[in-house]
A and B are shown apart, each in its own frame.
Chain A
């Protein structure tokens, strides 16, 4: 295993008096999918924000590609998909993809190919010329994912990517995520869907600003003596309260 792509050590984050993250230790290795699960308000989004450099850590260190975040130039190598769809409604799907492609710094010559590939993965090729305001909720989610995939970034950070996507397409997306992993690229993914948590390489259980458990799903299940990750989640939460 090479050097970790994401390396969070004893990460802490405070907003004023409120401590959101106490002590986060999390690594994402090359060619690995790491799932981040935890109840609402556990600090999943804050972990992502610090990793992206939108927020600065109050304590500990946050390194991506062995560089301390925040670092603007590095963002070109990270594909990010937020919880909200974050699209320009009055533009078409194609225009959205092209705009964010330009912002990511994709060369003009590669743009068309990149855009078409990303659209094909999320099955949006036929609807690219429609305005986003005419998209269904699922289509918006897929477009949002396609934007994150643009430029084949070495690291993908996906915040609840499969909400509102029907089962067939969800399976298709996970297949693509698997291919990305096999190419040696890394993915950090948050999810509420517990059977998705079974699909990741390692899963981190975030609770009260701390990582309660961080290991492969099978190991965690054995450790807690339960059959599913969902039960692990419930049990861990029960222990805490």
Chain B
């Protein structure tokens, strides 16, 4: 009863603070729109590719692709120098039948463009090769068939109009041999042309690796980040205000249970976080056209749990702050490191001891879970581990908060 009363009051206060509401709902949408515009501009990037000992045909094919210019170099050294001077974004070198690609990779969209262009050009040329090979082999087969028919005729003639049995059999044998041999060469020819169409391609990156920066990859984590950041900050500030204005003391001078206060806050901010998550999910899906493979309800559920963790965290840390400004000081200490370890920056490239830090970052678990749901369509029921860890955070922090309120009232 009292819990519901506190929830109603907190919600009433929240919905009357129009600016804070706008911050919670409009700011994430705005930032995500900006990010999607900034990170997804690969459609109009111009790239130049340096090639070393690549066939004329392939060069021509690549040069024909929009936004791609091709420069031919004699040695790899020349090409490398051009890359260092930022004249080319990638180098393609042919070793025998295989290709070795080196990307500057300072801009992931350029790398993606080159990769795509090369693949397309290669397919186009190999299709052409295949076509001509096919033409040749069909011609050969036609010729051989004609030969074969002639031979068979010969054979038949030899067997019917026979003068001596011995010479007839010899001629028959010779004809059969020849036929078999021609058949064999025909098949040989065909297999040879098909094996030629799959050269090996190796990719090299001067900077980073193939996972460097994609908005689609950042989005699930970003979503969680916004929920965490705003709920943490606003709930922390709200409780701080209760403390500094004395309403917390007055509240605690009534028979209300400490847990009722914490749960009342949880319920109200849980509702707010749910609305916020729904707004963020809908914007990303409809406005930014991001594909959500899994269920959107699952995304909301995970973010709701994360919001409650953020709330408990915000309330806990607000007890260590004496003013709004001191609360803001937790942003670089608590929020920013969460971003680093949340998975926005690939964790596998970090040192092991740095990687271990990520295990105590709530945002990592929600990021993992939401990424799985959005990108792989994983069901929420197979994400038990991530959810369990988040719940452990939640329960631990909630207990700390209920006990922590003892600072202000001893029962």
Contacts and interface: CB of A to CB of B under 8 A. Distances in A.
A213 interface: no
Nearest to B249: A82
Interface stretch (B12-20, B73-81, B333-341, B356-364): B12-20
Interface in B1-37: 1-2, 5-6, 9, 12-13, 16-17
26 contacts: A52-B409, A53-B409, A53-B410, A54-B249, A54-B252, A54-B409, A55-B410, A70-B409, A71-B411, A74-B255, A78-B253, A82-B246, A82-B250, A84-B245, A86-B247, A88-B247, A90-B16, A90-B17, A91-B13, A95-B9, A99-B9, A102-B1, A102-B2, A103-B6, A105-B2, A147-B250
A80 B411 contact: no
Interface in A84-127: 84-91, 95, 99-100, 102-105
B9 to A, nearest CB: 5
B13 A88 contact: yes
B257 interface: yes
Interface of A: 52-56, 70-76, 78, 80, 82-91, 95, 99-100, 102-105, 147
Interface of B: 1-2, 5-6, 9, 12-13, 16-17, 245-247, 249-257, 408-411
A70 to B, nearest CB: 4
Helix, strand, loop or mixed for chain A's interface?
Answer: loop
Cβ-closest 8 pairs across A and B: A86-B246, A84-B246, A80-B253, A103-B254, A70-B411, A86-B250, A102-B5, A76-B255
A76 B252 CA distance: 11
A55 B407 CA distance: 8
B4 to A, nearest CB: 9
Contacts of B252: 54
Contacts of B411: 53, 70-72
B254 A87 contact: no
Nearest to B10: A88
B247 A87 contact: yes
Contacts of B12: 90-91, 95
Q: Which residue among B254, B257, B408 has the maximum number of chain A CB atoms within 10 Å of its CB?
A: B254
Contacts of B410: 53-56, 70
Given A56-B410, A88-B247, 12 more contacts: A53-B409, A54-B409, A72-B409, A80-B250, A82-B250, A84-B246, A85-B246, A87-B247, A102-B5, A103-B6, A103-B254, A103-B256
A72 B260 CA distance: 13
B9 A104 contact: no
Nearest to B250: A86
Contacts of B16: 90-91
| Residue among A55, A70, A102 with the highest chain B CB neighbour number at 10 A | A102
A100 B249 CA distance: 12
Contacts of B255: 72-76, 103-105
Contact of B5 (A52, A55, A103): A103
B327 to A, nearest CB: 18
A104 B19 CA distance: 32
A74 B409 CA distance: 13
A111 to B, nearest CB: 11
Nearest to B2: A103
Nearest to A73: B255
Contacts of B245: 84-87, 89
A96 B361 CA distance: 39
Contacts of A76: 254-255
Contacts of A82: 246, 249-250, 253
B246 A104 contact: no
A85 to B, nearest CB: 7
B254 A100 contact: yes
Given A86-B246, A90-B17, A52 B253 contact: yes
A95 B1 CA distance: 16
A99 B11 CA distance: 13
Contacts of B247: 86-88
Nearest to A89: B245
A53 B246 CA distance: 16
Nearest to A80: B253
Q: Which of B16, B251, B408, B410 has the most CB of A within 10 A?
A: B410
A166 B13 CA distance: 30
Contacts of A99: 5, 9
Nearest to B245: A86
A59 B259 CA distance: 28
Contacts of B9: 88, 91, 95, 99
Contacts of A102: 1-2, 5
A71 B12 CA distance: 30
A85 B251 CA distance: 12
B130 to A, nearest CB: 74
Nearest to B14: A90
A175 B6 CA distance: 34
A172 to B, nearest CB: 23
B79 to A, nearest CB: 66
B252 to A, nearest CB: 7
A214 to B, nearest CB: 25
Contacts of A83: 246
A70 B408 CA distance: 12
A86 B249 contact: yes
A103 B246 contact: no
A79 to B, nearest CB: 9
B337 to A, nearest CB: 32
B394 to A, nearest CB: 25
A142 to B, nearest CB: 15
A9 B136 CA distance: 113
Contacts of B249: 54, 82, 86
